[in-house]
Amino acid sequence: TEAITITTTPEAITITTTPEAITITSTPEATAITSTPEALTQTTTPVETTITTTPSPSPVTLTPSLTPEPTAPTSMPLANTIPTLKLTTMTTMFTPTTSTLSTTPTSIRPTTMSTTVILITTPNITTPTSTPTPVTTPTPTTLTTLSTTTITTTTTATFLSACVPVRFIRVHLIRVRSTEISFTWKVKNAQAGVSYKVTLFRDAVKMFTIATSLKKAVFRRLLPDVKYQVVVSVESCTQQRTIQVTVRTRARVLKARTRIRNRPFLNEYRDRRSRRYRNFVKDFIEDLVSRLSQRLKLLYQLFRLRIVINRLTPGSVKIDFDIVMSTDENVTLSETRETFAESLNKSTQFDIDLGNTTIADRDSCQSGLNDCSVNGTCIRQNATYTCQCNAGFNDTSPSVPGRICEDIDECETGDHSCSELAVCTNTPGSFSCRCSEGTIDTNPANPGTQCTDIDECQTRNNTCSDLAACTNTPGKFTCNCLGGTKDTNPANPGTQCTDIDECQTGNNTCSNLAVCTNTPGHFLCRCFQGIIDSNPTNPGTQCTDSD
């Protein structure tokens, strides 16, 4: 691995590599990627597998030699020497094709292909015009020679298993500071050597892109109190997969407002892109910074102290601006407020209306001024803030709390109060319960928490046949045709049962001296009149003639 030396300045970043030097010039907000283990920005190239396959052979070029040879007669003598077609050179031309794949084949097996070339020589063969060397012209003959040549080639074919694309699970924030964002990501179905592209955006403008096979990255030398978008992408199974997260760098922010009495408000000041607006803002900031303490001037030059103009409004010229300080610097807010107030008061270029000048802690929990999750709560901490995930949500990045809050499925974890006879439905941050069909909700004020089973067999609120047995179960029931009946609808057991006439089928235990009477699902036996029933406990089964 080549060693990388990175030299950064507020204006540019120079990345020197061996053996060639590469210089990258960035905006004052340049993103630096260092080569320390902490940087986690090693650029890797996806492993490439080169597979060379041999396609089907092209037409075979045969160069015959027609030099006459004496041939001994076999059945009858010939007056002349018969030339024999002798195959001396056979050239098979193949054009190899090289394919480069970004994945490793799972299995390779050779495939053998056979090609049969049939050569037929006809009478009156003449010398081929394409053969540069002189040959002897054969004597015409009526003999036809049939030659069959079999060419066997082996082609290596590659069989790839079905491709399963990489699936991103989530991003974990490891550390967010005023000038740094460090994070990892979790995926499924990742193959070894997969290269991820990580891109940093600010206000939809691409700031920096790195490539890495590690599932982690870090961006440094960022600006405090700036909202960045991080996008991680990977090419998998010819599909582009991405995951992104929005992060705001930490800062302590003072909200300031002042009025300049010796400058008129111009209509161009309403357009932030106008030249007069930019020149006015530039002059104001330079004048303000010029009287700061040496310590604050140095922080401003290092981009750890920022002055952000929010808007200009009429009334002479009113200026709303933020004083943004890195949280990594040991400068108190009171010191910062006093220094800026003194600088405004001593301005000679601008007539500052001190009566209309305020410098106070900004409420960063206002909408658009923080990066707390929509499923979290912003907690103000003087000139800064922190976040906390709401109840029912899991904080997947606890080291940077409240930024990534995922819903907890209480129905899946079992952390709910639904009755065992209720259906639990997960909702964002909570859950709901509903008594199952066939039960009664005895506590409708808290739906689905107290459900009582309804005995459909007892209430007759069932679909069982009259010739079926009904069995109650929690929330439902089951039907089974009685013995001696036939289920004519087995797809819906016990709903359509037909009686079997055992007396007619003979499938009964009645004596031959008894009368069989069919009953629903059964039968009855009774000895004939004048016949003795010798087993009255089982009537009609043992009948004896009295004679």
Domain harbouring 427, CATH code = 2.10.25
User: What CATH number corresponds to the domain at position 207?
Assistant: 2.60.40.10
Same domain? For 357 and 261 the reply is: yes
Of the listed ranges 130-144, 299-313, 508-522, the least confidently predicted one is 130-144
Is 464 in the same domain as 537? no
Pair 243, 259 in one domain: no
- Residue 91 domain flag: no
What is the identity of the amino acid at 100?
Answer: T
Least confident of 95-109, 391-405, 479-493: 95-109
* Contact of 197 with 183, CB cutoff 8 Å: no
pLDDT digits (tens, 9 = 90+) for 203-260: 999 999 999 999 999 999 999 999 999 999 999 888 899 999 999 999 999 999 999 9
Q: What is the average pLDDT across 453-472? A: 88
Task: Show the domain range for 475.
Answer: 458-499
For the cut 90, the answer to whether the pLDDT of residue 302 exceeds it is yes
* Number of folded domains that form the chain: 5
- Domain-located, residue 74: no
Within a domain: residue 110?
no
Burial class (CB in 10 A: 0-12, 13-18, 19+), 493: middle
Taking CA atoms, 270 is separated from 57, 274, 277, 357, 402, in Å, by 74, 8, 8, 21, 37
Answer whether residue 114 shows pLDDT above 80: no
Peptide bond into 19 cis (omega under 30): yes
- Banded model confidence at residue 161, pLDDT cuts 50, 70, 90: low
Domain boundary residue, one of 216, 248, 280 = 248
Q: What is the pLDDT of residue 29?
A: 53
Shared-domain flag, residues 244 and 256:
no
Give the sign of the dihedral formed by CA 414, CA 420, CA 425, CA 429: negative
Pair 282, 421 in one domain: no
**Residue 259 and residue 337 in one domain:** yes
In sequence order, the β-bridge partners of residue 14 are 7, 23
Say whether both 34 and 167 belong to one domain: yes
By the 10 Å C-beta count (0-12 exposed, 13-18 middle, 19+ buried), 353 is classed as middle
> Using alpha carbons only, what angle is made at residue 39 by residues 38 and 40, rounded to the nearest 5 degrees?
95
Cβ contact 409:429 at 8 Å? no
The dihedral region occupied by 512, where left means phi > 0, alpha psi between -120 and 50, and beta the remainder, is alpha
Cα(234)–Cα(64) distance, integer angstroms: 57
The model carries a pTM of 0.56
